[in-house]
Amino acid sequence: MTDPAITGYDSFDAELLAKIDGEKLSVGYHNPFLVSDPGLIWLVLKGSVDIYAVPLTDGAVAGTGQHLMRVSEGELIFGMPAIPDDTVADGRSQIGLRAVATMGTELFRARRGDIEQDDFDLIVVDWIDRWIAALAEIVAPVGGPRPTGYLEAEPDIAFTAGAVLTPQRGDTIWVTLDAGYATAIGRWRLTEDTAGIPLPLAGNMWLACEADCRITGAYTPTALFRGTLWDSLASFHLAVMQVIARQREEAGASETSRLERKAGANRATFNASLRRIGGILAGPEAEGTVTGTAATGDPLFDAASLVAQAAGITLTPPTDDTGAGSRLLSDIVRRSHIRVRRVVLFDDWYRRDNGPLLAYRAADNRPVALLPDGVDRYVMADPADSTRRPVTAALADSLSGEAHVFYRPFPARAMRVREVFAFGLRGLRRDMATIVMMGILAGLIALATPIATGQIFASIIPRADIPGHLTIIAGLVLAALGTATFTVTRSFAVLRVQTRMDASIQTAVWDRLLALPVPFFREYSSGDLADRANGINAIRELLSGTIMQSVMTVLFSLFSLLLLFWYSWKLAFIALAIVAVLLGASLTIALAMVPLQREMIGRGGRIEGLIFQLLTGLSKLRISASEPRAFAKWAEQFGITKEITYKARKLAAIQAVITALFPLLASIVLFASISYLLKGGEQGEGSFGIGDFLAFNAAFGQFSAAMVGLLGTVSVLIAIVPLYERVRPILETVPEITDGKADPGAIDGTVEFSRVVFRYKPETPPIIDGVSLTIDSGSYVAFVGASGSGKSTLVRLVLGFEQPEAGGVYIDGKDISGLDMQAVRRQIGVVLQNGRIMSGSIFDNIVGSLPLTIDDAWEAARMAGFDQDVEAMPMGMHTVLSEGAGTLSGGQRQRLMIARALVHKPRILILDEATSALDNRTQEVVNASLARMNMTRIVVAHRLSTIQNVDRIFVMRQGRVVEQGDFNALMALNGEFAELARRQLV
């Protein structure tokens, strides 16, 4: 019989253990032991034990172990047989299990046969279920197929070929195959011949039907009652050991492959360095050489790096433990915080500048980089063989028909307009040099007109020099042709600069908007925010359009100014004084327009936001007969805007009058100055003749025309100030940064709030006041309470949209402040009461941009109780909905959004009053689906009838949890929850 000393342990019933004949052991890490005897069991009385898979030689440990699991206090360890090690052909090597206990651990070792007695049925069921769940975590591969259904403890259930079945969370199902054949976890084949030995499935294990199947499932008590449990458990142990041995073999091969890749990458980097040094004289464009990046051994990442480098993007290098070839492009761009777009390659795409592209060879799907080489040429860089070849028609035909374009993001910091402009100009050095060079040449040629005018009137006409006259005419014609050529060339360069700047800046702006923290969007309406975002493009158009050309014209009109000083420095200073007066007056008017433009632009954004809200709620306005009030609200704002516009246009009219009068007034002042200077004898006839005067006047005309053009752009330049003030919040708000934060991996779904305090503004009372609670993985919980009690705020905290003032929010025991929340949110499904439906088909609304099929969409629709509605529509899943889905009822819209949240099989599902518009029948369907789901479910509810079957209800009041329990317990408590329920019943 058992030693009396084992009494006093809370995890075990002393009377029950007294029936077991065994011995108590005190162990620690200093005395590990093997658990390779199937006839033994070990009960963990105190502490914990880590289990390792180890190689054995003649029954002794002969190498390092691989950690498998930890067995905690109150759990049981079954002995599992050692099996031959197939990687060593000496007949002496095996793979077995070794236990290493923490210090102070106490165990009770006994024969397994002692617990096979009828007295132990109930406790044995719990021990076995927990043991199998632990083994399931070891053998079930990560990233298995999406389940299409759940295993039930029912006899002879029919499933069709292709069905993927998994037990519901917390269940252990012993499966036998009555007909057909199937595969468990992609490793174990089940047929009718194996029907006598049930296979236990738990946790993330699955069963895939390879043909039409008939399956019988049973819970552990049933298997124990039928007498098949112990033999089946022994068979399961042997199968698990075979999987563990295979995993060790695969891990060893993976490590060998990793070391080989690392060595290959080092060699490739060394060779690339030698080629780079050797190609200094040959130049980087020498055919057959790939330069610019260090190879990593992963063809996809290396090709993507070449494309990214050409686009001005730096990719985050892969980690050493990521297998080459197994990395996806989505993983690379997500890690590097950039966006990509898939494009189609057609016709003679390689003769047009489409930017750097990531493409694939059609024959072997090998990634290659397509890099622009000039305006109308491409080269293909293949990092796999370190070659670079010009793209010809034949080479283009050897590529698959699709490629990816990379988009460069703004830096993850506050930015100024100057930095935005510099960002847009990156890679445009050649075009900017063309613009500058063409402007200089055009400015030099423009000097021909005043010089020729002076020569004609000074020497050619007085001498009646016809040949000289014709020569000057021919020269002017050639100068005109040259000017036209330079101007056209410069215009094309400006057009390329504008187009490329627009593409790079606009995509970066929208990427920035999508990356901004959620609290930023509380400050602005949708229309106002869209207007602010478009303001960046307006600034870009001003800087790269009219202003660019005008400023360049003014810059190179300096040649005309120099010519003025050549003919008469005194008259040149007078000309400068005239232009200075004009610019001063124009600048004064432009500065007076700044506050008016600021008010106009600000009100314009608010009006756009108001119009968007009115159009969105048009049906509600009609129902409440509020159209006149809506019109009055818009007209009030519109009228004020027009008053400001009228004032601004009056100032603009004054500026237009000054601009129109400038040439006449300038000529009067200039003629008067010349007359005064001539009368005073300061300019003698010999030193300033008629030809010089006419040449001076022509040069002044060119210079003054450029200054008049500048006047037209001064007000435009000043307009950038209020535009920048509008877009500054977007540029200066730092986006949500995930660099340096931990990857959460596949989350389990446990959520914990620890003394959380949160308020939206420092001067307001806390919305969440010291909340501490835990939501277990897979549980179904609800938050209820009056409006403003903090229910939805808790949801925002879980999603990382808000940061607590004190305390912490934890997912799977990890503080979310240190996690990559974008990776966390990808594993959370959220449905809000005021969620929006996008314009497009029902399939597009459910699946979105996820790489899922129509079968996935139908499954999600069935789980949301929406499948029958879709089947009744003319085009089923392909029925097109307008924005807002006005053709759907409120309940249908909510079910569509629930299907959207479920389609990607999230680990946590959050429903924030998401079933308020459902009728009772549909509510029952949705509730039944939610109850079966293998995920954590968090519901914020006002209709208490929808949460009768949840595991736990948290009652909120003024930011605190005042009651918690299941529905019946809270009703029996007769507290705040019961009062809420009675109100709804009344």
So what's the pLDDT on residue 33? 92
- What are 936's two structure tokens? 């954590």
So what's the pLDDT on residue 451? 64
As a whole number, mean pLDDT of residues 177-192 equals: 86
pLDDT tens digit string along 117-147?
A: 765 567 788 889 999 999 988 888 766 777 7
Q: Are 349 and 395 in contact (CB under 8 A)?
A: no
User: In sequence order, what DSSP letters do the residues of 16-57 get, joined into one string?
Assistant: HHTTS-EEEEEE-TTS-EE---TTEEEEEEESEEEEEEEEEE
pLDDT at 642 over 50: yes
Q: How far apart are CA 201 and CA 215, in angstroms?
A: 13
Q: How far apart are CA 266 and CA 423, in angstroms?
A: 34
Pick the closest to residue 903 from 936, 947, 857 (CA basis): 857
Q: How far apart are CA 459 and CA 461, in angstroms?
A: 6
The residue that leads in pLDDT, 618 or 277, is 618
As a whole number, mean pLDDT of residues 9-15 equals: 60
Q: How far apart are CA 24 and CA 9, in angstroms?
A: 12
The sign of the dihedral angle between the CA atoms of 828, 833, 834, 835 is positive
Q: Please measure the distance between the N-terminal and C-terminal CA atoms of the chain and give it in whole angstroms.
A: 63
pTM: 0.59
Binned at pLDDT 50, 70 and 90, residue 320 comes out as very low
pLDDT at 6 over 70: no
So what's the pLDDT on residue 258? 64
Cα 931-936-937 angle, rounded to 5 deg: 60
Percentage above 90 pLDDT, the chain:
6
Domains, the chain, in order of start with CATH, read 4-115 (2.60.120), 145-244 (2.60.120.10), 279-407 (3.90.70.10), 417-732 (1.20.1560.10), 751-985 (3.40.50.300)
- What are 837's two structure tokens? 């439906």
As a whole number, mean pLDDT of residues 28-51 equals: 89
pLDDT tens digit string along 705-735?
A: 777 766 666 667 777 777 777 788 888 888 8
- What are 944's two structure tokens? 């208490």
pLDDT tens digit string along 529-579?
A: 777 777 777 777 776 666 566 666 666 667 777 777 777 777 778 777 877
Pairing of strands 207-209, 199-202: unpaired
pLDDT at 97 over 90: yes
Pick the closest to residue 565 from 447, 730, 722 (CA basis): 447
User: What's at 911, amino acid-wise?
Assistant: L
The residue that leads in pLDDT, 959 or 298, is 959
Residue 703, Cβ density class (10 Å: 0-12 exposed, 13-18 middle, ≥19 buried): buried
Q: Are 78 and 41 in contact (CB under 8 A)?
A: yes
Binned at pLDDT 50, 70 and 90, residue 972 comes out as confident
- What are 868's two structure tokens? 């029958």
The residue that leads in pLDDT, 28 or 295, is 28
pLDDT at 425 over 70: yes
pLDDT tens digit string along 452-473?
A: 666 666 666 666 667 766 776 7
Pairing of strands 188-190, 93-101: unpaired
Q: Which residues of 711-728 are buried (b: 16+ CB within 10 A; e: fewer)?
A: bebbbbbbbbebbbebbb
pLDDT tens digit string along 910-953?
A: 988 766 666 667 777 777 777 777 788 899 887 777 788 888 99
SS3 704: helix
Note the helical H segments in 151-228.
Answer: 220-226
